[in-house]
Amino acid sequence: MDHYSREEWHKYVKNELGDADRKAYEDHLYICDHCLEVYLEAMEEEEHALPAMPREDEFTNLVMAQITVDKVKEPPVLNVAEEQKEAFAHGTWFERCFPIAFTCLLLIGGLVKMLEGTKSEAEKLEKD
Ligand SMILES: [Zn+2]
- The pLDDT, as a whole number, for residue 22 is 95
- How far, in Å, from the CA of 9 to the mean position of ligand 1? 10
pTM of the predicted model as reported, rounded to 2 decimal places:
0.40
- How far, in Å, from the CA of 18 to the mean position of ligand 1? 19
- The pLDDT, as a whole number, for residue 5 is 96
Burial classification of residue 121, based on how many CB atoms lie within 10 Å of its CB (0-12 exposed, 13-18 middle, 19 or more buried)? exposed
- How far, in Å, from the CA of 25 to the mean position of ligand 1? 9
- How far, in Å, from the CA of 26 to the mean position of ligand 1? 10
The domain limits of the chain are 1-50, 53-128
CB 38 within 8 A of CB 8: no
- How far, in Å, from the CA of 37 to the mean position of ligand 1? 9
Per-10-residue mean pLDDT of the chain, 128 residues long, equals: 91 95 96 96 87 62 74 62 64 75 88 83 72
- The pLDDT, as a whole number, for residue 15 is 93
CB 43 within 8 A of CB 79: no
- The pLDDT, as a whole number, for residue 43 is 92
- How far, in Å, from the CA of 46 to the mean position of ligand 1? 19
- How far, in Å, from the CA of 30 to the mean position of ligand 1? 9
3-state SS assignment for residue 16: coil
- The pLDDT, as a whole number, for residue 124 is 73
Listed residues: CB within 5 A of ion ligand 1: 3, 32, 34-35
- How far, in Å, from the CA of 89 to the mean position of ligand 1? 80
| Residue 28: its H or E element | helix 19-31
